[in-house]
């Protein structure tokens, strides 16, 4: 492919985005809800997947809320209160 100035432009293969996609995630009820390719949403308890793959984030979050509450992960470098 050529740009306006006649130079070649690098393009990703058809159907692929540019660069590597970092999975998006959030914590719900102490469980990690992760968006993967597809998009597919998965619920994790630590490093173990809990339940099935979900097509929508709301379904994954609702499933995480239906599970027994877990402690919310703490920061790696907590700030002391003093």
pLDDT tens-digit map of 11-69:
445 555 555 667 789 999 999 999 988 789 999 999 999 999 999 999 999 999 999 99
- With respect to residue 61, please indicate whether it lies within any of the assigned structural domains: yes
- With respect to residue 14, please indicate whether it lies within any of the assigned structural domains: no
Q: What is the C-alpha R_g of the chain?
A: 19
Where does residue 60 rank: exposed (0-12), middle (13-18), buried (19+ CB within 10 A)?
Answer: buried
- Separation of first and last alpha carbons in the chain: 60
- With respect to residue 29, please indicate whether it lies within any of the assigned structural domains: yes
Q: How far apart are CA 19 and CA 41, in angstroms?
A: 21
How many structural domains are present in the chain? Answer: 1
Query: Residue 70: phi, psi to the nearest 5?
Result: -110, 160
- With respect to residue 1, please indicate whether it lies within any of the assigned structural domains: no
- Whole-structure pTM value: 0.61
Please give the residue that has the higher pLDDT: either 46 or 9: 46
- Residue 54's domain spans which residues? 24-42+50-66
């Amino acid at each position: 492919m050529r740009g306006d100035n006649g130079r070649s432009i690098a393009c990703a293969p058809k159907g692929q985005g540019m660069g590597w996609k970092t999975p998006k995630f959030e914590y719900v009820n102490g469980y990690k809800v992760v968006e993967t390719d597809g998009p597919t949403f998965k619920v994790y308890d630590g490093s173990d997947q809990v339940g099935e793959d979900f097509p929508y984030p709301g379904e994954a979050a609702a499933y995480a809320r239906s599970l027994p509450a877990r402690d919310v992960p703490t920061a790696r470098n907590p700030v002391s209160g003093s």
